[in-house]
Amino acid sequence: MMDNLYRSEEASARGDAAIVVISLFFVGLLIVAFTSNPISTGTQPGERAPLFSGKAYNGTGWQTFVFDDLLTPEWSPNSTGDAPWIAIEFLDTDCGFCKTSAEKVGNWAQQYSSSVWDGPEVIFIAIAVEFVADSSRSEIQSFRDSNEHTFPYVDDLDRDIVDEWEVGGTPSYFLVQPDGIVAWNSAQTVNSIAWDAKTEDVFALTDFTGDNYIELDEAIEQLTKKYGGETQ
């Protein structure tokens, strides 16, 4: 083959053309690489949260819920405005831990959306999945009503959202920046890792309670107020 390459002028033409085309390809790729900073979609800190929509129970009935509608794409750590953060809880109405944590999650939802809270508003969403036993919309409704929650419960009994968000167990919590970037994920291997939107790098949250586990409220306290302490 090498012998043919040395003797064949056709091979030279192909080689010359290949050099031109490969150069063009890499110049194109380099321009794209140097002028953009792509963010992959996923659920680890720093990744863009997967978008979803579905039917959500808000206390009166099941209505269409679109996650994108909560986002503020133009938000940045330096921007001003009242862009809300989003806390997402994945729960199963038959899961014991979800039942025991329901009261504190309800309290957090009240606390971080009230005027007493001096940080940005945090919108809570629950995504009801079916892991343990058969569940139904009526079960979701009674779970929400019995815990006096005020935030919407999204029906994910078919597990579309939970699979895309790669949630392996409940309850799992996520804190999402106003621009849709995952700031913290309770189910990651090292639970304290969070995303710093200013440095665009991960950092470790402080464990206030000393139990070696970061709770959603600890993540909210440290992350939402990180960018000035006031509504961004």
Residues near other proteins (CB under 8 A) are: 9-10, 13-14, 16-18, 20-22, 24-25, 28-29, 31-32, 35-41, 48, 50-51, 73-74, 179-181
Complex with other proteins: residue 29 or 133, whichever CB lies closer: 29
Look at residues 122, 129, 140, 127 and name the one whose alpha carbon lies nearest to residue 52: 127
Complex with other proteins: residue 47 or 121, whichever CB lies closer: 47
- Residues ≥6 apart with Cβ < 8 Å to 108: 87, 122, 124, 216, 217, 220
Residue type, 34: F
Complex with other proteins: residue 196 or 221, whichever CB lies closer: 196
The least CB distance from residue 3 to other proteins, in Å, is 17
Complex with other proteins: residue 171 or 178, whichever CB lies closer: 178
The least CB distance from residue 44 to other proteins, in Å, is 15
Look at residues 89, 45, 42, 50 and name the one whose alpha carbon lies nearest to residue 194: 45
- Residues ≥6 apart with Cβ < 8 Å to 81: 72, 75, 231, 232
Q: What are the helix (H) ranges across 36-136? A: 96-111
The least CB distance from residue 29 to other proteins, in Å, is 7
Q: Which long-range contacts (CB under 8 A, 24 or more apart) does 210-215 make?
A: 214/184, 214/186
Residue type, 231: T
The least CB distance from residue 196 to other proteins, in Å, is 16
Structure tokens at 27: 């110049």
The least CB distance from residue 147 to other proteins, in Å, is 33
The least CB distance from residue 63 to other proteins, in Å, is 22
Complex with other proteins: residue 84 or 171, whichever CB lies closer: 84
Complex with other proteins: residue 40 or 206, whichever CB lies closer: 40
Task: Give the number of other CB atoms < 10 A from CB of residue 219.
Answer: 22
